[in-house]
Amino acid sequence: MEIQEGMMKFVVHKPVQPKRVLENGRETETATPRCKWKIFFGKFSSLPSSKPLKLETKQPPKEFICPISGSLMADPVIVSSGHTLERACVRACKALGFTPTLVGSSTPDFSSVIPNLALRSTILNWCKNFSVDPPKPIDSNTAEKFVRALVEAEAKKRGSQNENQAQKVIILDKELIQGAQENTSVNFGDAATEVDRCRQTHSYSSSNDSVATSVSTPSLQLATRPSCYSSSSSEIEILDDNYTEEEKEIFAKLRSPQVFEIEEAVISLRQITRTREDTRAHLCTPQLLSTLRSLIVSRYSAIQVNSVAAVVNLSLEDVNKVKIVRSGIVPPLIDVLKGGFHEAQEHASGALFSLALDDGNKTAIGVLGALQPLIHMLRSKSERTRQDSALALYHLSLVQTNRTKLVKLGSVPILLGMVRSGHMTGRVLLILCNLAWCPEGRATMLDAGAVECLVGLLRGVELESESARESCVTALYGLSHGGLRFKGLAMAVELAEVMKKVETVGRDRAKEKAKRMLEMIKMRGGEEEDEGIDWEELLELGSQTEC
């Protein structure tokens, strides 16, 4: 379309002015034209419409977009797997127990979350430079809607893949039977019937891309299928006939996007693993453990409590202990100890105690960072949490590396304080016994006044049992390997007198240790007289020694 515009054209004519001219001796006047205005109107065409002006909008970089919400991230966080997502979306995934499949078929690990302040600042600067409104944080309800939509999308995608896989299986069966008929004279009518029967009993798992096949008459299938037929384990997974309908229903509900169904599933799982011991081994699969790992950190109390309790029940089976630790469940359990619901903390401490019974798990649990939270749980309001945490620390401290870590974490003053206050004395003494056999622990205990504390216990009546008295003697025996430092402290509190009493009335093992300590003191007593050791000076120097 052409735009016609008017244009005025100005032509100026000067007015006629008389001009005097000398001609033949006479002066004459000639006229000059006056200024005149003439206006012309014209039209011209505008620029061709084939070149319109375009307003370009700047698209944000892909790194600024949350893969779940599809919008600019207001509060980006980095998860353990290295992915960066919106914090609210991560919380929603944890709450629903859902692990999405991101670009490149990678799956994020939500075991730990770290704020990405650098990326957040970069996004805000980008918005400022391009005059874009800064993103606003997503509320929990909106985040859950995004996650649920993603759950439905992935479920549809898996359903489509399963249908395609089923067609492949059916075609494969027909081709195999047809090929066998062409090369043999055997009647494969029964085989074709069996294929149809198997086709009707196919079931497809929504949590796995493979096709699960349940065969009603395996004897007929084995008798009629060609020997050249084999099923690829990556394509077909045969359902375990040991799974009951109740167990299958639990697995289905655990994958549900509905919170109330997940709650029902974990409650049922906790119940059957507690009452039916035979179910613990065959239910402890990598798929179930992976699901429980995400449910343990749920923000719904019922889901978190019952998920952790189910892990405790599964861990009671010896064959499951190493499998559970290797599945990555320990870090979520530690998170529960740090900030979970109180009842869930009780179960988490019990789970770590149960898992620590296996020698193959002790070092791994210590490396994963369970020692510090367990020390903190010794001061919990729950008696059950305190007891299980103490037992977990005892079994973990049987390993040298964990003993060293416990000393560096400052556990010795805490443990001695509990002994002095009479709080869980028996179980705390078990931990101190292990630390006394560690060079770092021995030196720290001597500096913290452990000899005086333990001798005072043996003199009094505070110890609740004979086993606690024996633990006290064992701890002193471990400290006795501290050389002259221990000797000076022992003389100051008159340890020999107490050991003579133990040698008379104690148990056999306690008597043996008391006898050895008396011999040690007596043997070193002669050396001291010869050397003239100033014990007061030694004790003073020892109290100034830093470990």
Instruction: With a cut of 90, say whether residue 434 has pLDDT above it.
Output: yes
Q: Which residues of 301-317 are buried (b: 16+ CB within 10 A; e: fewer)?
A: ebbbbbbbbbbbbbbbb
Lowest mean pLDDT among 112-116, 427-431, 505-509: 505-509
What is the mean pLDDT of the segment spanning 473-479? Answer: 91
**pLDDT of 32 higher than 80:** no
pLDDT band at 6 (very low <50, low <70, confident <90, very high): very low
Listed range (99-103, 316-320, 400-404) with the worst mean pLDDT: 99-103
Q: CA angle, 253 as apex, 251 and 256 as ends, to 5°?
A: 120
Give the domain-ending residue among 369, 396, 423: 396
Q: Tell me, what CATH number does 72's domain have?
A: 3.30.40.10
In this prediction the pTM is 0.56
Whether residue 392 sits in one domain with residue 248: yes
- Which of 138, 158, 189 is the endpoint of a domain? 138
Q: 174 and 29, same structural domain?
A: no
How many domains is the chain partitioned into structurally?
A: 5
Which of 53-67, 126-140, 499-513 has the highest mean predicted lDDT (pLDDT)?
126-140
147 neighbors 89 (Cβ within 8 angstroms): yes
Looking at the fold, whether 372 and 282 belong to one and the same domain comes out as: yes
Q: Do 434 and 494 fall within a single domain?
A: yes
Q: How far apart are CA 89 and CA 109, in angstroms?
A: 13
DSSP state of 13: -
pLDDT of residue 488: 85
CA separation, residue 24 to residues 167, 345, 455 (Å): 123, 132, 154
Tell me which of 185-199, 303-317, 377-391, 398-412 is least confident: 185-199
The model's pLDDT over 40-85, given as tens digits with 9 standing for 90+, comes to: 555 444 444 444 444 455 788 888 999 999 999 999 998 877 889 9
Domain for residue 57, yes or no? no
Shared-domain flag, residues 151 and 210: yes
Q: Which residues partner with 204 through β-bridges?
A: 211
Looking at the domain assignment, is residue 63 inside a domain? no
Whether 293 is covered by a domain: the verdict is yes
Per-residue pLDDT at 291:
92
Q: How confident is the model at residue 367, as a pLDDT?
A: 92
Residues 339 and 252 in one domain: yes
Q: Please tell me which residue, 270 or 505, carries the higher pLDDT value.
A: 270
Our measurement of the distance from residue 239's CA atom to the centroid of its chain's CA atoms, rounded to an integer in Å, reads: 29
φ, ψ of residue 481 to 5 degrees: the values are: -85, 10
Residues 148-163, mean pLDDT to the nearest whole number: 74
| 454, two tokens | 């333990």
- Mean pLDDT, rounded, for 120-137: 90
- Confidence check: pLDDT of 354 > 70: yes
Asked if residue 511 is part of any domain, the answer here is yes
CA distance 403 to 399: 6
Rounded Cα distance, 265 and 328, in Å: 21
Could you list the residue range(s) of the whole structural domain that residue 502 is in?
Answer: 411-547
Bridge partners, residue 42, by sequence:
7
User: For residue 530, what is the domain's CATH number?
Assistant: 1.25.10.10
| pLDDT tens-digit readout, 78-111 | 887 788 999 999 988 888 778 888 877 778 888 7
DSSP string, 100-138: ---GGG-----S-EEE-HHHHHHHHHHHHHTT-PPPPPP
Contact 363, 401 (CB under 8 A): yes
What is the predicted pLDDT for the residue at 39? Answer: 52
So what's the pLDDT on residue 167?
56
> Which of 343, 346, 274, 345 minimizes the C-alpha distance to 315?
274
Question: Does residue 61 form part of some domain?
Answer: no
Task: Confirm whether 405 is domain-assigned.
Answer: no
Least confident of 179-183, 269-273, 403-407: 179-183
Q: Are 351 and 420 in the same domain?
A: no
Domain-located, residue 465: yes
Q: What percent of the chain has pLDDT over 70?
A: 69
**Domain finish residue from 185, 205, 238:** 238
Does the pLDDT of residue 456 top 80, yes or no? yes
Note whether 328 and 293 are within 8 A (CB): yes
- Same domain for 492 and 375: no
Shared domain for 465 and 496, answered yes or no, is yes
**Res. 7 pLDDT band, cuts 50 70 90:** very low
Whether residue 422 is contained in a domain is answered as yes
Please indicate, yes or no, whether residues 340 and 475 belong to a single structural domain of this protein.
Answer: no
d(CA 408, CA 371): 11
Q: Is 382 exposed, middle or buried, given 0-12, 13-18 or 19+ CB atoms closer than 10 A?
A: middle
Task: Give the pLDDT of residue 24.
Answer: 52
Of 127-136, 218-227, 347-356, the range with the highest mean pLDDT is 347-356
What is the per-residue pLDDT for 453?
92
The per-residue pLDDT for 300 is: 93
More confident residue, 32 or 212: 32
| Token pair belonging to 378 | 């010794």
Do 420 and 332 belong to one domain? no
Per-residue confidence (pLDDT) for residue 202, from 0 to 100: 36
**Does 99 share its domain with 214?**
no
Q: What is the pLDDT of residue 206?
A: 33
